[in-house]
Structure 1
Amino acid sequence: ALTTNVYWKFLKANGIDKELERVFKKFNPKDIKSLQETGKKSRGLILRGKMPEDLERGILQAHQKLEEMYGRDVRVAVRTSGVCEDMPKASFAGQFESYLNVRKEDLIRIIKRCIASTFSDRAIAYRYDKKVDQLKFGLSIGIIKMVRSDLASSGIMFSLDTETGFKNVVLINSIWGLGEMIVKGRITPDEFYVFKPTLNGKGLDGRTYRPIIKKKLGRKTVKYVYAKDGGIKEAKVVGSQQLKFSLTDNEILTLAKWAVIIEEHYSKKFGKWTPQDMEWAKDGETGELFIVQSRPETVHVHSEGAARVYEEYKLETSKKPILTGIAVGERIGRGKVHIIEDVSKIKEFKEGEVLVTKMTDPDWTSIMGMASAIVTDEGGKTCHAAIISRELGIPCIVGAGKATKVLKNGQSVTVDCSNGLNGRVWEGNISYKVKKYNLEKIPKLKTKIMVNIGAPEAAFKTSFLPNGGVGLAREEFIIAQNIKVHPLALIHFDKIKDKRIKKKIEEIAVEYKNDKKEFFVRKLAEGVSQIAAAFYPKKVIVRFSDFKTNEYRQLLGGELFEPLEDNPMLGWRGASRYYDPKFESAFALEVKAIKIARQEFGLKNIAVMVPFCRTVEEGKKVIKLIEKYGLKQYKDGLNIYVMCEIPSNVVLVDEFLDIFDGMSIGSNDLTQLTLGLDRDNGRIAYIGNERDKAVKEQIAKVIKACRRRKKYVGICGQAPSDYFDFAEFIMKLGIESMSLNADTIIKTILKLTKKK
């Protein structure tokens, strides 16, 4: 290691320290041209300097020791680290140059280039922004034997979710080859989430949990490998490797355990939660994994102990977006588009514009803070544009594909990152509202307020709202958005004759060549588990699928297996599907997915719920099927609930409660069936009202019965949010929980508090 003493001695021996003082006297931080001239002069002074003989001799002697340990011509990584780097509020990540696969004969020259990078344009701008003295900043350099990740894989790892600050997961990004390619943003890495609380736990069978709650295959078309004469070069990733994950499950779990250990170490050292941003590499010669760097995460660490504020952005438009991509952050930005195709033209950029480019790298940092929003063609959640935008609090959309072609210079646009990972760009200045809530001041109700949720991507953020768990986790969203294929089309894949459908299924389930059923099971398990992990250890009630036939037909291959019904609302749906010989094999996949979430991932806070169960006999059949496919009621704390949404559920409430552990009132269906209407029929929809006396009397009967039997009773319709007199009515009856959509939770709590 070359300490900052080497840095200062090199500058002083060449008289560069005095020259730099003169250069920086003329520096104007508000002028990009001045920034570029200052950086160029400073770097030139250093590159023309000569390494003092005693320092050069000491460096080469140390390299000789490395050769004695690892063999002749050992290749090294030359990595920089500043004395102010990785401060709690400034990471300096990527501001200085590091070099890989460096030969002995190039070592002194490369060290000088590292020292010169202290005065890269981006580093000068970043220091100014963070109020760090330009001439008191020292650089140290680590010289480390290379890990041969060019023959295997490497990546980045965080001990929290980078978008929301949710602390109970480890996020791992992985690519083939050397890790520099991730920052370049030209590829999309594989993405893995591991759930921390059960990472070292064991199930009743004694087996250790393996809580990889999300695995997403990236787009890994190129990689960096060793160049023959030193340095690195780009190489293509062969087709078969592109379709494989770049880490095994065991390696993912090993890295996650290390991330937890490292986070715990630094949290103990600093006396507060200190999440980590880490780099790792796998040696292709030995198969060993290495952590090559760890530094504090700088965006969310300050939320610990601070007043908990929840920001809610709401865009007011019915227009369709003109562009979509991966959202970074949770804000909305507006401005005029400025497309910059090359870093040499960044001085043309003006404050308040929307920066649009193919991809950024550290040389772009000086103008990123001036942007109202950033949109890039390429990149993933851990590319340079994403990392810097997140730190600066600027809305950013990466991986938009054709932003530089679709958007035009001077065009007014609105960049929206408020909808989970779904980043959207609208034409024009779209109005929006921002609401801020101090969560410490939100009062608590006697009635438990739970959440309705369908999108796993929204779960981590939603978990920060005041809540008592999830009263309704819908499988339908996961199936429609993440799986997209009818389960029977996956089960009977080999029998499908339509080549177009088969080709599309192959493309969607590309990771599952041999067993298409496993694609459904794993993706459903992952989606459910992300929701359950977000709210752990609070209860999460997962409702089995309740698609109607017309909705199932919309899934890929659905028309091959679904009948055409005149009134799907009252047709083949809910419990009646599960035990039908034509659908039982598909229901089995749903049960297996829940089994994985509970028994493999350790998410025992998951309960299940049966929808649209017309008769007690149907309920008994479904409970037997659930056991047949691997889940037993009460074993390991498993509760099985039923939706109360049919008048028969009310009339025979005690008989249903004999077999189920409680009821969740589905006020929408209960209202339509009590009043004899089809809520999909717009002409008579106005008649449907949960406050109708007939509906309220049925709800009252169910709540009283559940309380008498000491069984769970909740409601998962919108009625409590829409009608506060209705909410007051069920609160007085002693309902255990109200499960609401996320955007109505705070306003409902506040209004109900006033009505108490």
Structure 2
Amino acid sequence: MSSKETRFVLWLEEIRKEDTPIVGGKNANLGEMIAAGIPVPPGFAVTAYAFKYFLDKTGLGQKIYEMLKNLDINNTKELEETTRRIREMILAQPMPPEVEEEIKRYYFELAKRLNINPANLRVAVRSSATAEDLPEASFAGQQDTYLNVYGAEKVIEHVKKCWASLFTARATFYRAVHGIPHERTYMSVTVQKMVNSKAAGVMFTLHPVTGDENVIVIEGSWGLGEATVSGKVTPDQFVVERGSFKIIERKINQKTYMVVFDPAYGGNIHLKADEAKGTWVSEEGVEPTIPLVKVARPGAPALTDDEVRRLAELGEAIYRHYGRHMDIEWAIDFDMPFPDNVFIVQARPETYWSVKRAKETTKAEFIAAIGKKTVRLAEARALAKGLPASPGVAAGVARVILNPKSPEAMEFKQGDILITKMTDPDWVPLMKKAAAIVTDEGGMTSHAAIVSRELGIPCIVGTGNATKVIPYGVEVTVDASRGIVYEGIVEDLVKPKVEITTPGVTAAVGISPEQLLPLYPVTSTKIYMNLGEPDAIDK
């Protein structure tokens, strides 16, 4: 093994894409971007080898794998209880001194490099899972991230929390279902200087809904990126022309929620705008002391035009480095001057290019629908409007659900329309049953939008009030190509197009595998796909 493979910690600048098996895709991409000259906050990676060493040295690995060996993953109570006990075992077990001391040494060195008192150095601690011999296995959204962690002891604590998150019920179930052995799955951890975010968000190097490769789409909101990615706020959206970097579209939304770090509180606080008083009120009940609350206004742009153009330039540089379209997370530092305040904190391959026709219902679905009360498009009443996030049309019974574990959720049937405030990974089982999804909050890069595109489900986000204006149990038609929810079954939209054939013209026929083989010979090259919702691979 090379020296990298037996080290507990690596600086991000030491890492390249070929190191994915030992540091996970997240860390490998950060190292690649640093090498390409992209402004990435400095930091280091606790390797997967450190995690494996911890399990072996403490004897926890053998105990954990024995507990999982005979686990019935379909028994929800047993799954939850077993994985909870495993996480508790990891958190209660001290790290081997040699691993703990190495992590602390790098943390102190990072503080020295930045000329910051180690007790005040705030870092993000992020999971970067990988699987031995399966470096491209997707574990998106299954493990934990912790922001604004400071102090060496807290870093050690949160590294262990990331390790423990490898054994959540959801992650354990996923590995079992997909035949990935638990003992071959490891956890690397990113420890990276926090950006004191004035604003943060997501950028695509193409339009994530239309697939237009001539534009770069940027979404962002005030404070930390958590508000945008989780869908708790409808972010501002900027569409930038590739090449000229001219802003050709902008949509400034009412951003009434933000997450920020408050030094006086000693942690993150969640703020909601009191628009009547023109102030921000924390859910924690504390008075915010940070300067950002005086600058951030719900209806004001979270980014300047210069910051938008600088992000687009970096997005283009990342696209050219990887030679593929990318999904990028960014942050703007409140304390630094432009352009030094613009940082890229994560990049991954863009998982869906939707240059496709809107998904049409099948003839059988239409026949089933036509038996119900239908309306013409010209007569249909629009119940809600929002942002088209995943194109297509679907009709069905609207189910307004606010909790994925509620009694209403248990009654949700295949083909129903899911109406909710927002989604996160806990909603995925319901999302897979839904004919379409409509949310009150979120943008084109929210969880609901990304997973819907991967699953091929029509989706509208950011309606603002769908859960309040769409009655539970009413039949609706969701036109996610235009962002409109209609009352009733709209015949014009759900009716399948009729194939027209011309007499005397022979229809095109498919090419058989035997004919294809000489054109595209079998090779030993494996093809992998990065998906936010891994089960979508079957589609």
With normalisation by structure 1, the TM-score equals: 0.50
Paired residue for 2:104, among 48, 60, 67?
60
Stretch of structure 1 that moved more, 389-398 or 125-134 = 125-134
Give me the identity figure in percent. 38
Q: Tell me the equivalent position of 2:334.
A: 284
Specify the SS of the correspondent of 1:108: helix
Residue 132 of structure 2 is aligned to residue 96 of structure 1: no
The residue identity in structure 1 corresponding to 2:345 is: V
Confirm or deny that 1:154 pairs with 2:210: no
Matches within 5 A, 1:271-670: 274-287=324-337, 288-300=341-353, 310-311=357-358, 313=360, 317-318=375-376, 319-345=380-406, 348=410, 350-352=412-414, 353-419=416-482, 422-427=483-488, 432-434=494-496
Query: 2:495 and 2:66 mapped to 1: Cα distance?
Result: 49
From the superposition, tell whether residues 385 and 106 of structure 1 become closer, same or farther in structure 2 (CA, over 3 Å).
same
- Cα shift readout 1:133-182 (whole Å, capped 9, x = no counterpart): 44422221110111111xx2111111111112222211111211111111
Q: Is the 8 A contact 1:338 1:349 kept in 2?
A: no
CA offsets per residue over residues 344-380 of structure 1, 9 Å max, x none? 4387264514333222223333443233322222222
**Secondary structure at the residue paired with 1:6?**
helix
Does the CA-based 8 Å contact 2:296-2:302 persist in structure 1? no
Q: Is the 8 A contact 1:333 1:372 kept in 2?
A: yes
Shift of 1:6: 1.5
Letter in 1 for 2:161: R
1:117 has 2:165 as partner: yes
**Cα shift at 1:60:** 1.0
- In the alignment, which residue of structure 2 is the partner of 1:214? 249
Instruction: Verify: 1:244 aligned to 2:288, yes or no.
Output: no
Are 1:165 and 2:211 matched, yes or no? yes
Query: 1:171–1:425: structure 2 CA closer, same or farther, 3 Å change rule?
Result: same
Residue 259 of structure 2 is matched in structure 1 by 224
Q: Per residue, is there more helix in 1 or in 2?
A: 1
Distance in 1 between residues matched to 2:474 and 2:71, nearest whole Å: 33
CA distance in 2, matches of 1:180, 1:91: 21
Q: In 1, are the aligned partners of 2:401 and 2:419 still within 8 Å (CA)?
A: yes
In structure 2, the CA distance between the partners of 1:112 and 1:155, relative to structure 1 (3 Å rule), is same
TM-score computed with the length of structure 2 as normaliser: 0.68
1:175-223 residue CA offsets vs partner (Å, 9 max, x unmatched): 1111111122221111111111x32xxxxxxxxxx52111111221222
Structure 2 letter corresponding to 1:321: A
1:100 aligns to what SS in structure 2? strand
How far residue 403 of structure 1 moved from its aligned partner, in angstroms, is 2.8
CA distance in 2, matches of 1:434, 1:19: 56
By relative contact order (CA 8 Å, sep 6+), the higher-ranking structure is 2
CA distance in 2, matches of 1:31, 1:400: 37
Structure 1: gaps of 5 or more residues: 200-209, 268-273, 438-442, 444-756
Deviation at 1:106, TM superposition (A): 1.4
Are the structure 2 counterparts of residues 239 and 294 from structure 1 closer, same or farther at C-alpha, using a change threshold of 3 Å?
closer
SS in 2 for 1:242: coil
* Equivalent residues of 1:349, 1:367 under 8 A apart: no
Coordinate RMSD, CA, aligned: 3.2
Deviation at 1:61, TM superposition (A): 1.1
1:232 counterpart SS class: strand
Query: 1:294: how far off?
Result: 0.8
The structure whose Rg is larger is: 1
Q: For 1:369, what is the secondary structure of its paired residue?
A: helix
In the alignment, which residue of structure 1 is the partner of 2:121? Answer: 74
Distance in 1, matches of 2:216 and 2:436, equals 28
Q: 1:88 to 1:64 in 2, by over 3 A?
A: closer
Q: Residues of 2 paired with 1:35 and 1:373: CA distance?
A: 30
Write the distance in 2 (CA, Å) between the matches of 1:47 and 1:436: 61
1:239 to partner: Cα distance? 8.2
**Aligned to 1:24, what secondary structure does the other structure show?**
helix
Please report how far the alpha carbon of residue 427 of structure 1 lies from its aligned counterpart in structure 2 after TM superposition.
3.5
User: Letter of the aligned partner of 2:494 in structure 1?
Assistant: Y
Distance 1:335 1:78 in 2: 42
In structure 2, do the counterparts of structure 1 residues 401 and 310 end up closer, same or farther at CA, with 3 Å as the change threshold?
closer
Amino acid paired to 1:21: Y
Q: What's the secondary structure of 1:83's corresponding residue?
A: strand
Query: Which residue of structure 2 aligns with residue 139 of structure 1?
Result: 187
Aligned counterparts of 2:149 and 2:90: Cα–Cα separation in 1: 20
Equivalent pair of 1:79/1:98 in contact (CA under 8 Å): yes
The 1:68/1:312 distance shift into structure 2, 3 A limit, reads closer
Contact kept in structure 2, 1:310 and 1:436, CA below 8 Å: no
Match of 2:311 among 224, 239, 255: 255
What is the number of residues matched between the two proteins?
A: 410
In structure 2, distance between residues paired with 1:387 and 1:310: 18
Contact 2:395 2:494 in 1 (8 A): no
In structure 2, the residue matched to 1:729 is none
Instruction: Give the letter aligned to residue 320 of structure 2.
Output: E
1:697-721 Cα distance to aligned partner (Å, 9 max, x none): xxxxxxxxxxxxxxxxxxxxxxxxx
Q: Paired residue for 1:48?
A: 92
Task: Note closer, same or farther for the CA distance 1:408–1:297 as it changes in structure 2 (3 Å cut).
Answer: same
Whole-angstrom distance in 2 between the partners of 1:328 and 1:284: 30
Amino acid at match of 2:253: G
Distance across 2 between alignment mates of 1:94 and 1:20: 22
Q: 1:26 Cα deviation (Å)?
A: 4.7
Contact 1:88 1:298 in 2 (8 A): no
Provide the residue aligned with 2:269 in structure 1: 233
Quick one: distance in 2 between partners of 1:250 and 1:224? 24
* Counterpart-to-counterpart distance in 2, 1:34 and 1:349: 23
Q: Which moved more, 1:154-163 or 1:239-248?
A: 239-248
Structure 1 residue corresponding to 2:232, chosen from 167, 181, 186: 186
> Residue type of the partner of 1:241?
R
Alpha-carbon displacement from aligned partner over 1:400-433 (angstroms, at most 9, x marks no partner): 33333334444444333133xx232433596724
Is 1:13 aligned with 2:57? yes
Distance 1:311 1:177, change over 3 A: closer
Kindly indicate whether the alpha-carbon contact (under 8 Å) linking 1:76 and 1:101 is maintained by their aligned counterparts in 2. yes
Q: Structure 2: how far apart are the matches of 1:427 and 1:88?
A: 47
- The 3 A distance-change label for structure 1 pair 90 and 238 is farther
State the alpha-carbon separation in 1 of the partners of residues 486 and 129 from structure 2: 38
Distance in 1, matches of 2:498 and 2:167, equals 40
Secondary structure at the counterpart of residue 241 of structure 1: coil
* Structure 1 residue identity aligned to 2:389: V
Q: Secondary structure at the match of 1:138?
A: strand
Distance 1:143 1:40 in 2: 25
What's the CA shift for 1:27? Answer: 4.7
Alignment partner, residue 661 of structure 1 = none
**Which whole-Å CA distance do the structure 2 matches of 1:297 and 1:224 have between them?**
26
> Could you tell me which amino acid in structure 2 is paired with residue 114 of structure 1?
C
Please list the CA deviations of residues 587-643 of structure 1 after superposition, one character each: whole Å capped at 9, or x if unmatched.
xxxxxxxxxxxxxxxxxxxxxxxxxxxxxxxxxxxxxxxxxxxxxxxxxxxxxxxxx
User: Is the 8 Å Cα contact of residues 321 and 427 (structure 1) preserved in structure 2?
Assistant: no
Secondary structure in structure 2 of the residue aligned to 1:333: strand
CA pair 218-134 structure 1, distance change in 2 beyond 3 A: farther
